[in-house]
Structure 1
């Protein structure tokens, strides 16, 4: 059998926009819309201001940046755009891969398409391919990257984005394969940020994007990489999975026939996807049962051990997160916020909310237990039992999280989220993004999304 990178290279080289079903293209435009919306929502954040300074120092240039007046070199534009898309942890996730696919695929496709003078059609196709390959590469791990301590977005996202970058560079099949082989030595991202809310995760998709552009450039001059970058004895899976059984050929199952892009979920909440079903369960119980936060005695949350390691450990720190990113990965804090505020929005992750004594009191009441019936990683299940001071026990299970292909957010939901993120600029910007791939150049598309 040919090497997996070769098969993917052949697929990407021969695929045209006409080969992609209309359903997939429509979904891709909605994912792009969501990504642009969360990027605009992040422009005034402190992490964005620091990222702007760093990116400008690394590579000034002429490429536009989403929602900002900055102009940067291609790699730095991709890096900053990825930070914008991913920084609030409000961006899409391919659920089985546990990978933020758009956060790498869109920035690298924008940068490479502008760099090589491509059309908006070319941009759309590369974006679709970047998502598709990232999702497939991540899915092979069956959640095992997390269990070993790696962030799949920095790993799988680098491979998918290298395909997008090489396709836009005009490389043939062997060049697209070589780009994957080279980027394997750059794919990275560790989960240690979970211990203290550090900002490194915000850089993971940006590093994946810059690595992809670098790998495609080296592939264009004939730089050789290891043939079995996926399946080899020191390939991606052998080195990044500890106890998980894997078969790298799973990445090729139904390639070009079953589109994994359709399994990409849009987030209803600006927090780690592992917490969303719990937020839904608590908010439904709060509304349906009509109890007050002061009535709560305990909150018992059942969760699979892998997501629990991300959002429940160490438990004492998770009950009192130190910054907004710490809080976005804290199930106790999010449970407390939902009980105290009857909502979970960006306002629940401000410094004032992090110090809210009622949220913190409720977070102390959260107990964590294993969920033997979890559907992880195919879905991010949640089970909640709330015991009230009057002795009542309220129970709700969310077997499949909202945003999943079995419970997708509607087009109206995605448009509403976008409008909430952009405010008065929403309507003209929305129509521009939803027309992606119908006319014009990639540069024209990106310029319209730049702040004046």
Structure 2
């Protein structure tokens, strides 16, 4: 880049919370064009995931919850109706994460779009703002969430916190605060209030509580901004101060990670899903598919050895899933699906009946999963051992960036696969966002999600 991306004032250099405030208030003209383009892809991918999840059992429950609580409101809900901004953010965050098919950032091990975009859209609809403003706010909120997630470090995640909901809530507050027009003092108050609200546990994985975590992140961000705008006071620094969020939620924080490489946006490493399951399984799926374009007969497979980053052993290694949701967090079942030709990209594959399939259970029982500290969160290595002694090696690294043109094509194919004929309006919006995002209003996006795409 020819221009310094982040020109921090003294506040950002003197205290870490000031860095986040300055980040959220950065003028749009200083944002890298390629990062804004990636933010637009995230907006569109989030829309696809939300539209595809609008008929999930969780979606009915969340809309019912909104209808029993809401009194007016102009923010749209996936699948119809409107609600107040905070409530809409929670409902849309949960619905868009229901399929677990949304983007992931491995720097802080969390899903950015589902926790931040619902908050941004809800505020933007209330204020008749543009898609360009939504994407700029999302980009800066996501960058703040990533950097705070890196400060909290692996210790935070490994203790059982779900960073989509914890660090993600601060990202939602930064994005919502920018769109609400908070000044630096108001933004600082919003972050302080969010620090006492952010929450979310990995123990919810495999249940409806996991997508709810994303909704809570979005709702907490909106609520913190709304309360800050009313003038509620808070700790001077609720994130990094004594007994603040970092001190109480991480045994080994890394404060230097907040301002590391200030000229480079970490959002550049955002990764998108092409399989409707936990992202920790995607490297294995890609590796097996590449090594076995024509899978061997299951009867000829003695065992499948999988080596993965130890972190994932407590996340997506459910040995005997009992539901379709739990299948999405099982190395054994996903390996068996790949090697028996099941479609891992179609969410309709993950039924409760699949969890009870005896043939899959038999093959899944031959999958041996072990942790390897030499592997990153995005890598896998392994071998398929056949009954005749032959070994088929496989490996994959998700950190290898996909060229922009291929990424765009794969996300469009994902939209068509998930939405069918309903993908048309989303793909039309895609073209408009590429052309002039400032001309697309938040109310148009809201109308699209209420109508269900078509």
Tell whether the structures are fold-level matches, with TM greater than 0.5. Answer: yes
Q: Do structure 1's residue 123 and structure 2's residue 134 form an aligned pair?
A: yes
Say if 1:451 and 1:60 are closer, same or farther in 2 by CA, change over 3 A: farther
Deviations along 1:217-241, one digit per CA (max 9) or x if unpaired, are 1111222222232323322222112
Q: Tell me the equivalent position of 1:284.
A: 290
Say if 1:81 and 1:292 are closer, same or farther in 2 by CA, change over 3 A: same
Distance 2:40 2:266 in 1: 15
Contact 2:43 2:113 in 1 (8 A): yes
Distance 1:303 1:27 in 2: 28
Moved more, 2-11 or 49-58: 2-11
Q: Tell me the equivalent position of 1:389.
A: 387
For residue 401 of structure 1, report the CA deviation from its aligned partner. 1.7
Contact 2:324 2:354 in 1 (8 A): no
Q: Tell me the equivalent position of 1:17.
A: 28
Q: Tell me the equivalent position of 2:234.
A: 225
For residue 434 of structure 1, report the CA deviation from its aligned partner. 4.8
For residue 165 of structure 1, report the CA deviation from its aligned partner. 1.1
Contact 1:63 1:77 in 2 (8 A): no
Q: 1:425 aligns with which of 422, 427, 437?
A: 422
Q: Do structure 1's residue 294 and structure 2's residue 314 form an aligned pair?
A: no
Say if 1:264 and 1:108 are closer, same or farther in 2 by CA, change over 3 A: same
Distance 1:211 1:189 in 2: 11
Distance 1:440 1:394 in 2: 50
Structure 2 unmatched ranges of 5 or more? 1-12
Say if 1:306 and 1:231 are closer, same or farther in 2 by CA, change over 3 A: same
For residue 64 of structure 1, report the CA deviation from its aligned partner. 4.7
Q: Do structure 1's residue 371 and structure 2's residue 404 form an aligned pair?
A: no
Q: Do structure 1's residue 416 and structure 2's residue 416 form an aligned pair?
A: no
Q: Tell me the equivalent position of 2:216.
A: 207
For residue 433 of structure 1, report the CA deviation from its aligned partner. 4.1
Q: 2:153 aligns with which of 142, 147, 162?
A: 142
Say if 1:7 and 1:32 are closer, same or farther in 2 by CA, change over 3 A: same
Q: Tell me the equivalent position of 1:54.
A: 65
Q: Tell me the equivalent position of 1:448.
A: 448
For residue 66 of structure 1, report the CA deviation from its aligned partner. 5.2
For residue 129 of structure 1, report the CA deviation from its aligned partner. 1.5
RMSD across aligned positions (CA):
2.0
SS of residue matched to 2:72: strand
Moved more, 132-141 or 439-448: 439-448
Q: Tell me the equivalent position of 1:315.
A: none
Matches within 5 A, 1:28-427: 28-65=39-76, 67-194=78-205, 197-242=206-251, 245-255=252-262, 257-287=263-293, 290-312=295-317, 318-345=318-345, 346-376=347-377, 380-398=378-396, 400-401=397-398, 405=401, 410-427=407-424
Say if 1:32 and 1:434 are closer, same or farther in 2 by CA, change over 3 A: farther
Contact 1:10 1:174 in 2 (8 A): no
Contact 1:32 1:433 in 2 (8 A): no
Distance 2:96 2:225 in 1: 22
Contact 1:384 1:397 in 2 (8 A): yes
Distance 1:407 1:371 in 2: 29
Q: Tell me the equivalent position of 1:435.
A: 432
Distance 1:37 1:426 in 2: 8
For residue 340 of structure 1, report the CA deviation from its aligned partner. 1.8
SS of residue matched to 2:152: coil
Highest relative contact order (Cα 8 Å, sep 6+), 1 or 2?
Answer: 1
SS of residue matched to 2:449: coil
Contact 2:308 2:370 in 1 (8 A): yes
Distance 1:347 1:119 in 2: 34
Q: Tell me the equivalent position of 1:8.
A: 20
Distance 1:106 1:435 in 2: 19
Contact 1:99 1:152 in 2 (8 A): yes
Contact 1:386 1:393 in 2 (8 A): yes
SS of residue matched to 1:410: helix
For residue 213 of structure 1, report the CA deviation from its aligned partner. 1.0
For residue 405 of structure 1, report the CA deviation from its aligned partner. 3.3
Say if 1:374 and 1:206 are closer, same or farther in 2 by CA, change over 3 A: same
Say if 1:279 and 1:407 are closer, same or farther in 2 by CA, change over 3 A: farther
Structure 1 unmatched ranges of 5 or more? 313-317
Deviations along 1:360-398, one digit per CA (max 9) or x if unpaired, are 11111111222132023xxx2111211111111111122
Distance 1:333 1:169 in 2: 45
